[in-house]
Structures are given as C-alpha cells and as structure tokens.
C-alpha cells in the first residue's frame, strides 16, 4: 500500500518558516532579561516580565486568531502576522524606555502567536490523515531545532557583539520568513453556511474548541513541568557545579528528538495514542527524577535524553490528538486551544514554581514536578486513555477526519 506524500513543497516551506519565527523567539527569550537589566536598570522581576510578556502576547492573540482565522482567511492572517512580526523586530532599535520595550515584546508575541496558529492550522490540513502523528512529529522538529540553536546563538552574539546585532539578526530571520512563505500555497477551509454560522458568537465555545480541551489540559501540565527546566536549569547547574554539562543539555535534548519523533509519530499512526502517551509520560517522570538527583554531567545529560523521549514526544502526540478529536471545520480553533493551554503552562509555570524553590530547593522542585507529571498519567487515562484503548486493535482512526 502506497503512503500519501508527506514532504510536499507547501509542507516543507511552512516548516522552514516556522523554524525561523521560532528561532527569533528562542534567540530573544534567552537575552532580553539581561538586556533589560543592562540597558534600563530593570529589577529581576521587570527583567523577567520583559522576557515573559512575549508569551502573554502570544496567548492573547491565539484566543483571537483561533476564533477568526477561518473568517479572515489563513493566508491573510499569516501574512498580516508575519509583517507585524517584522515591524516588531525593527521596533527594538528605537525602544529607549522599559515601558516601550514591554510594549514591543507584547506586540511581537501577539504576532508570533497569530502566525504560528495560522501555520499550524495550515500544516494540519496538508498532512495526510493517515500520517497525522508522523507529520506532526516532523513539523514540530522545526521548533525543537530552533529551541537548541536560538539560545546558543543568542548567548554567542551577546558575548561577542552588542544587542543591536541580536535585533538585526532577528530582523533578518523575519524577512526570510516572509520571503519563504510567499512560495507556499496556504490551504483555506471551505465552510458551509451552517458551519460559518456556528462559529459566530461570544460564548466560550466560540473561542475554544471544547473537544480539544481535555487533552490540552495534559499539555498545560507538561508545559508547566517543562518550564521548570527552561527557566531554572542554568541556575540549578550553577548550584550543583555542572554548568559545562548544562550548556549541552538542550543540544542533547534536540538530537534525541530528531531521532525519536519520526519513529514515535509512525507508532502513533499505526498503534494508537496510548502506545505513545503512556511511555512518554513515564519517560518524562524518569527524566525529571534523574535531573533532580544529578551529581555528574553524565546523569544531567541522560536526563535530557529521557525528557526528550518524554515531553518531546508527548508534545506532538497531544497536538495530534487535539486535532483528531475536533471537527474538521474547527481545526484552527482546536490548534489555538492546544497552544493556549501549552503556552500558559510554559509562561505561568516559572512564576508558580519560583515561589516554592526557596522552600524545597532545586532538587525538591524537580521531584515535585516529577510527581505532578506522574499524576497526569492517571488524568490522561481518565479523560482520553481509556476511550482510546477501547478502539479495535488499539488503533486510532486518523484517516477518518471528523466533519460534524
């Protein structure tokens, strides 16, 4: 049996564009806090806000984009967002006050949220239904690669040049994103009059896809746990004298994802959700436990491998499930719903986690996150796993997109 083509021209172009927009995000998220302190004398709290308000802007725009993407048109929304993304990149240069910097970061995040929602929605239409897990895995590698290259590039430039070079680099990436996407055909939703009418209104279901919320709750928990790694692993490494190993953590994480995601995606398509979700959540727990007990560089990097097999795999699986569970004409809303929950976990997580680090320390914090993810396995079983296991042969009907 011949498989439907996955690596089409449009799939490849949108994946490349996603890489460059995500690269801009990760390059800046590792440098903006330091920039705010050095340039404006910001406090640690203000510096954290300068870095994190980007995510707040992204969540805000996803709520709006999810509702209106099919009304505005995916292509129209994408190009508008990418142009705004470019203008925001240019706006870092004249921002000479902290309040102006915060405003630019919010707008930049809003543009990123709208653009990434439009691209993820389009890519889910391009991926053949029977290869949904595999395609989602490959597509999400663009974000994984950017999460490894971006922080490294940001730190390298900040050590060898001034911050204007960082902003110039982001501007170049933004221009590349616009030029590349010009060559892609963005699929639009063909909504019936009844479907268009059903998407009008100001109720909760008009801004969120209800059927995508259960699995998105799991994404929220995972994002919260992962934020403890993103935000505090450098401080933790300093505390335990493993800074050299920590500098390679995300390289090891990304390399593992490059190998594992295509394989886990194929497994998801052939064997069903549970064959991937249960092991990946357990791997995430094990990775967090290893991280909490790390006393050598080898153990720290080993934890990166398990966290990649855990969070890195479950991330793509939950996204694929959110789309599969939702009606086809609400795929844009389902996509935004998923990312709103995930981004909220990543964005708000550091604030919540930071409150109890002084009480339990970094090791205690990572053990607590391991316990939280372990409990999410039971939650996953209750809200999706037991239903998924009831399907014949444990297989998922990816080839039968919902249209109701």
Span 160-172, pLDDT tens digits? 888 999 999 999 9
Tell me, yes or no, whether 200 lies in a domain. no
- Contact of 362 with 287, CB cutoff 8 Å: no
pLDDT for residue 399: 41
pLDDT for residue 195: 61
pLDDT for residue 282: 98
Tell me, yes or no, whether 220 lies in a domain. yes
Q: How far apart are CA 256 and CA 312, in angstroms?
A: 9
Domain boundary residue among 149, 183, 217? Answer: 183
Helical axes 249-271 vs 132-160, angle rounded to 10°? 170
Residue for token pair 């986690």: 353
Whether 225 and 127 share a structural domain = no
Question: How many domains does the chain divide into?
Answer: 2
Whether 235 and 376 share a structural domain = yes
Mean pLDDT lowest among 31-35, 55-59, 219-223, 239-243: 31-35
Which tops the pLDDT comparison, 18 or 397? 18
What's the chain's average pLDDT?
A: 87
Whether 235 and 297 share a structural domain = yes
Q: What is the largest CA-CA distance in the chain?
A: 63
283 pLDDT more than 80? yes
402 pLDDT more than 50? no
Q: How far apart are CA 295 and CA 23, in angstroms?
A: 31
Question: For the domain that residue 114 is a member of, what is the CATH number?
Answer: 1.20.1250.20
Of 278, 1, 4, 318, give the one whose Cα is nearest residue 133: 318
Q: How far apart are CA 169 and CA 177, in angstroms?
A: 12
Tell me, yes or no, whether 139 lies in a domain. yes
Question: What count of other Cβ atoms lies within 10 Å of the Cβ of residue 73?
Answer: 16
Tell me, yes or no, whether 160 lies in a domain. yes
Q: How far apart are CA 67 and CA 230, in angstroms?
A: 30
pLDDT for residue 43: 82
- Contact of 118 with 65, CB cutoff 8 Å: yes
Question: What count of other Cβ atoms lies within 10 Å of the Cβ of residue 63?
Answer: 16
pLDDT for residue 387: 85
The model's pLDDT over 344-364, given as tens digits with 9 standing for 90+, comes to 888 788 878 888 888 999 999
271 pLDDT more than 70? yes
DSSP string, 330-372: GHHHHHHHHHHHHHHHHHHHHHHHHHHHHHHHHHHHHHHHHHH
pLDDT for residue 232: 83
The model's pLDDT over 67-122, given as tens digits with 9 standing for 90+, comes to 788 888 899 999 999 999 999 999 999 999 999 999 999 999 999 999 999 999 89
- What's the mean pLDDT in 143-155? 82
Mean pLDDT lowest among 24-28, 98-102, 127-131, 400-404: 400-404
- Contact of 264 with 133, CB cutoff 8 Å: yes
Domain boundary residue among 148, 183, 218? Answer: 183
Whether 33 and 155 share a structural domain = yes
Question: What count of other Cβ atoms lies within 10 Å of the Cβ of residue 160?
Answer: 8
Q: What distances in angstroms separate CA 351 from CA 67, 103, 184, 231, one per listed residue?
A: 28, 20, 39, 10
Of 18, 30, 6, give the one whose Cα is nearest residue 85: 18
Whether 22 and 142 share a structural domain = yes
Domain that holds residue 226: 208-391
């Amino acid at each position: 049996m011949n498989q439907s083509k996955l690596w089409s021209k449009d799939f490849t172009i949108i994946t490349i564009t996603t890489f460059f927009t995500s690269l801009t995000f990760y390059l800046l998220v590792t440098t903006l806090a330091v920039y705010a302190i050095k340039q404006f004398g910001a406090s640690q709290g203000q510096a954290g806000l300068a870095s994190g308000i980007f995510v707040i802007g992204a969540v805000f725009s996803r709520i709006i984009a999810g509702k209106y993407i099919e009304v505005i048109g995916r292509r129209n929304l994408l190009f508008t967002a990418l142009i705004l993304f470019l203008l925001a990149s240019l706006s870092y240069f004249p921002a000479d006050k902290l309040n102006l910097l915060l405003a630019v970061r919010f707008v930049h995040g809003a543009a990123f949220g709208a653009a990434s929602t439009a691209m993820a929605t389009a890519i889910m239409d391009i991926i053949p239904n029977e290869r949904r897990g595999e395609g989602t895995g490959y597509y999400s590698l663009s974000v994984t690669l950017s999460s490894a290259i971006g922080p490294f590039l940001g730190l390298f430039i900040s050590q060898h040049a001034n911050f204007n070079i960082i902003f110039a680099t982001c501007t170049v990436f933004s221009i590349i994103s616009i030029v590349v996407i010009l060559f892609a055909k963005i699929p639009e939703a063909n909504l019936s009059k009844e479907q268009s009418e059903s998407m009008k209104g100001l109720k909760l279901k008009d801004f969120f896809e209800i059927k995508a919320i259960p699995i998105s709750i799991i994404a929220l928990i995972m994002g919260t746990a992962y934020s403890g790694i993103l935000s505090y692993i450098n401080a933790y490494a300093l505390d335990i004298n493993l800074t050299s190993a920590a500098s390679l953590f995300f390289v090891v994480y990304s390399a593992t994802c490059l190998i594992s995601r295509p394989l886990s995606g194929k497994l998801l398509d052939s064997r069903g959700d549970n064959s991937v979700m249960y092991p990946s959540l357990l791997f995430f727990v094990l990775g967090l436990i290893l991280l909490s007990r790390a006393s050598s560089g080898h153990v720290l990097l080993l934890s990166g491998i398990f966290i990649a097999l855990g969070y890195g795999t479950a991330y793509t699986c939950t996204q694929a499930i959110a789309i599969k569970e939702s009606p086809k004409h609400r795929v844009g809303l389902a996509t935004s719903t998923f990312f709103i929950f995930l981004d909220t976990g990543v964005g708000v997580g550091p604030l919540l986690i930071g409150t109890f680090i002084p009480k339990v320390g970094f090791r205690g914090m990572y053990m607590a996150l391991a316990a939280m993810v372990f409990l999410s396995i039971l939650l996953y079983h209750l809200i999706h796993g037991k239903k998924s296991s009831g399907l014949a042969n444990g297989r998922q009907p990816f080839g039968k997109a919902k249209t109701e």
